[in-house]
Structures are given as structure tokens and as C-alpha cells.
Structure 1
Amino acid sequence: MLWLTSTDTRASMLPAAWLIPTSERPANLAERARLRRNVAGLVLDHQLGQPHAAIEIGHDKRGRPHLVHPAGHGLHLSLATRSGMVAVGLAERPIGIDVERVEQGTEPPLAVLHPSERDILLALPAAERPLAFAQLWSAKEAYVKALGTGFAHAPERFCVRFLAEGFFTIEDAGAPSIGIGAARLMKNGDQEDLAAAIVVLA
């Protein structure tokens, strides 16, 4: 899985995630959607060799984005916006991407986690829990985006298992596919800590 930081960079392989800083601060859902579509269009312009104006992004009945035009590409798309960062995920299988801000100085809502995840966080010093929670939650958000369910698939029902070098798997007895992912930490323009995750269904 590739992590890229410029809309001008074409991924040499998929899946790939573009994390694009922005100074825009959308005031509502419509503005956030416009920003995501605009950044995704720039990414796809270079990735597909199509002019930005010819790229059309739509949404299915569950709200999951997909590439309407050009057709016949076989690609899956996921988008996210958070705290001065726009994320674009592209893969040949269902994909989800998410970015979360690390809420320093706050106690994470452990009730929304799988019991095994709660145990891991409770074993950490209190000061380290916000970062660990943001990493877990971005992975969970990315997973349910890949599924196309949102959190109708309850977050406490499945477990994120982190592996070496930022990779993780999803343990979910109720899902027909295996979730494989990668995580990354970064800072935005305001130097706030952010956690990003990408999940592809195998």
C-alpha cells in the first residue's frame, strides 16, 4: 500500500492513498463534499490520464463514492476530510480511507471499542490513549467504509489487530471478506496530530 502526498503524483501500484493538506476549512457537509470531489478529481486526472473536467464522481445508495466517468476502469474509491487534510484511496478491490484528529487531553470513549481493544488502551498510560484511540478509530472508520455499511456495522463487533510497520488486519466473524490495512501518523498545517488508515477487502 502506497502513501502519497501530492495530487500530481501517480501511484506506481494500487492500493494507494493520497493525503493532501489543504488550507480550506469547510463550514458544512456540502462544502466538505465539494472539497473531497475536487481533490479526488486532481488525483484521478494524473492516475487515469483523463482531464479533470471529464472525471465524474457519484455515490451509491449508501453514500459510498464511486467513479462514474470514465467507465470500465474497475477501480474502487474512498474519500475523507478532517482537520486540514483530504484523503483519497484508490484500489482494485473495495477500499475505505479515514483520517482522525488526535484529541489530546481527552479520555477516549472506550465503550465503542471491541473488548480486546479496550484492554489494550486501558493498559496504556492515560497520556498515550488519545493517540492509540485515533489510530484504532481511523482503522474502524476505514473498514466500515470499505464494507459500505458505515457504523450500522457496530464498531464494538470487530477488532483491529496492529502488526509490524503500521499494518493491521480486521477480525470480524460477521463479515464475508477479510480487511487488510495500513496506518500512518502525520501533522496538519496547524501542527495537530492526525491518524490515517486505509483498508482493502481481500
Structure 2
Amino acid sequence: MTATALPAAWLIVTTARPANLAERSLLRRETARRVIARQLGLPADEVCIDHDGKGRPLLARPAGRGLHLSLATRAGVVAVALAQRFVGIDIERIDPAATPPFAALHPAEGAMLRALPEATRPLAFARLWSAKEAYVKALGTGFVRAPESFSVTLLAPDRFEIDDPLRSSRTAGTGRAIENGGQGILAAAIVTLD
């Protein structure tokens, strides 16, 4: 499963159920190492994933290829994104019983969610939140950046746009909803920055 062009994203269903943050981190890195090795046509032991000072994953070996990566894990699925520019990927579980945290959303996002029929809000919120998290990962800030300081507009089931007052142009992203082997439905999003 290699990509014909970058940016590329892989959503890999695993049977692993990590019990803590360290185990989730190891699962992400090992899965990404195998995916990237296959993509680059290398043995897995020639690929090393490390982190920069802010915690963003980086391709430490092989070095000098100008590649950026992002990783996420949720409910048995590992998401890996690889690009030639800054990239962020996220995956969120859809919780039909959860109420969106409106205080953590941009006012336009809250208004959009409130205008939807209640039954469709969980999927819309998961799509929106995965887009927000993918964006701050691409920025390299994580949620040090307040989530309500920028807005996501869901344009179609597989497309969204981010309006950030700190950037001169809107940022486009893609997403999708997937089932992970009967455990639930997940929303995934990927963002690359110029």
C-alpha cells in the first residue's frame, strides 16, 4: 500500500489496544515506520522516527528527504500522513451521546452545529474537531493555540476549510468517516500547509 503521490494518508486498523500514552506512542511510531519504509522502498530498520522540541514527529532517518509526517491513534486505528510540507492528521471517534464542547469552539462553528439536527451533530462535531486538531498539528503548536481562535467550515463530507486570522489565506483540508471493524465510526482529517 504505497501512495503514488504526496501528500498521502494511511488509516490502518490494528488489533492493538494500548493501555497508556507510552503504548499508543509506540504503536504510532512502529506503524508509521513500516508504512514509510514501504513507501520509500527501504527496510523498516532504516527508518527512524523521532520528535522535535515541540513534540511533532519527524523523520530522523533517512534524513534530508524533505518529508514531514504526522501521526494519530484512536480506537484501534493508526493514522499516518506523509508530505513534502508541514502536515497534520487526526482521527476522532464519533460519540453519539456526547454534547459538543461549545465553549471550545469558534462562534461560527457553534452556530453551525446548533443549526444541525441533533442526530447529525456527533458526526459533524467529530469531523470538525479532527480538522481542528489536524490543523494545529500542521502548525506545530498543538492546542497551545486556542481551538476557538480559528474556525473550520465543513464544505462537503470530504472537504473543509480553515479560516485563521493569523494567516493571510484560507487553508483547505480533506477528511472522511470510516468504520473500524464494528467498534464505531471515526472521522479523520488531513491538512497540509504551504
TM-score class normalised by the smaller sequence: over 0.9
Provide TM-score, normalisation by structure 2: 0.96
Q: Distance in 1 between matches of 2:79 and 2:189?
A: 10
Shift of the 63–177 alpha-carbon distance from structure 1 to 2, 3 Å rule, reads farther
1:34-183 alignment runs, 5 A limit: 34-164=26-156, 166-175=158-167, 178-183=170-175
Give unmatched runs, 5+ long, in structure 1.
1-8
Q: How many Å apart are 1:163 and its aligned residue?
A: 2.4
Q: How many Å apart are 1:176 and its aligned residue?
A: 6.2
Q: Distance in 2 between matches of 1:163 and 1:72?
A: 36
The answer on whether the counterparts of 1:139 and 1:181 sit within 8 Å (CA) in structure 2 is yes
Q: Distance in 2 between matches of 1:48 and 1:94?
A: 18
Q: Distance in 2 between matches of 1:115 and 1:35?
A: 36
Q: Distance in 1 between matches of 2:121 and 2:53?
A: 36
Provide TM-score, normalisation by structure 1: 0.92
Q: How many Å apart are 1:108 and its aligned residue?
A: 1.2
Q: Distance in 1 between matches of 2:52 and 2:20?
A: 21
- Aligned structure 1 segments of 4 or more residues deviating by more than 3 angstroms: 175-178
Give the aligned partner of residue 17 of structure 2: 25
Shift of the 197–57 alpha-carbon distance from structure 1 to 2, 3 Å rule, reads same
Report the 3-state secondary structure (helix = DSSP H, G, I; strand = E; otherwise coil) of the residue aligned with 2:90: strand
Q: How many Å apart are 1:162 and its aligned residue?
A: 2.3
Deviations 1:146-186 (A, max 9, x none): 00001111110101122245112210011367532101000
Aligned-residue Cα RMSD (Å) equals 1.3
Report the 3-state secondary structure (helix = DSSP H, G, I; strand = E; otherwise coil) of the residue aligned with 2:71: strand
Q: Which moved more, 1:12-21 or 1:169-178?
A: 169-178
